[in-house]
Structure 1
Amino acid sequence: MKAVIQNLIVILALASVSACSSWVYRIDIPQGNFLEQKDIDKLRIAMTKEQVKYVLGSPVAKNAFDDDTWHYFYALRGGRGNDFEKQLIVEFKDDKLADIKGDFAKSDNFNTPLDI
């Protein structure tokens, strides 16, 4: 009888410790370039690479074999499991902005160069 009570106490103690894991604070872990639509709206076709870098910052990744494609990626690993990801691919032709793809919309003015 005494062994059964001891086993029951051990089982209850283990169950209560495992239940506490939901109380542990887990931090959010951001990685990459945080971009907002208002930043993307500043991009215009035929911008130079320096102008794009000024608006968006340095890309997370550049293709080692193709310097005309830049990748901007942002991921937030939430401590409570609320993950968030966004990406933007910027393409250049002759060192001028040619196109953007990804999780952001092009602005209505994207196809209007800055000098016009």
Structure 2
Amino acid sequence: MQFKSIMLAFTLALSITACSSVQKVVYRIDVPQGNYLEASKVKKVSAGMTSEQVQYLLGTPVLIDPFNQYVWHYVFLQQKAYENPEQHTFTVKFDHRGIVTEANLDSPLPDEEKVEVNNTIIDSSNKAKKAWWHFWN
């Protein structure tokens, strides 16, 4: 009798711990914060542009340096699901006339050319001809 109760407790403990998974099964959304920076738009910013042109291209900056109004910081922070967050800071410096003198990106932005799993386009034109008896597909 003692052996049966010990085996029952052991089986119950194993079944409860089997329900807990080492894998992360809870869905977490991607969280972008700040100015959404695209590589193509950041490449367009060059010396000689006005502050209005930069603002039209990238939007209003997250931070304008309080000690120097001619330095704008565009900060983009993105955390994808369970990965570590990635931060990209794009700094634009202007002269006293509001003309871009310098633009620096601290870390490279993700490549636009790379197609991600969630953004794939399903092309239905490549389907093979269906036979008349496969009407359910």
TM over 0.5: yes
Choose between structure 1 and 2 for higher RCO, CA contacts under 8 A separated by at least 6 residues.
Answer: 1
Shift of 1:4: 5.3
Q: Which residue of 2 aligns with 1:111?
A: none
Counterparts of residues 1-116 of structure 1 (less than 5 Å): 1=3, 2-3=5-6, 5-13=8-16, 15-19=17-21, 22-81=24-83, 83-94=85-96, 95-102=98-105, 103=107
Number of residue pairs matched by the alignment: 104
The CA distance in 1 between the partners of 2:83 and 2:64, in whole Å, is 29
For structure 1, which segment, 17-26 or 47-56, has the greater mean C-alpha deviation from structure 2 after superposition? 17-26
The alignment's C-alpha RMSD in Å is 2.4
Q: Which runs of 4+ in 1 moved over 6 A?
A: none
Q: Shift in Å at residue 55 of structure 1?
A: 0.8
In the alignment, structure 2 segments of 5+ residues that lack a partner are: 110-137
TM-score (norm 1): 0.73
**Structure 1 residue 104 displacement after superposition:** 5.2
Measure the CA separation in 1 of the matches of 2:24 and 2:108.
Answer: 35
Query: Which structure features the higher share of strand residues?
Result: 1
Residue segments in structure 1 that go unaligned for 5+ positions in a row: 106-116
Equivalent residue letter for 1:65: F
Percent identity (aligned)? 29
Q: CA deviation at 1:27?
A: 1.0
Contact 1:88 1:104 in 2 (8 A): no
What TM-score, normalized by structure 2, do the two folds share? Answer: 0.63
Q: 1:16 to 1:90 in 2, by over 3 A?
A: same
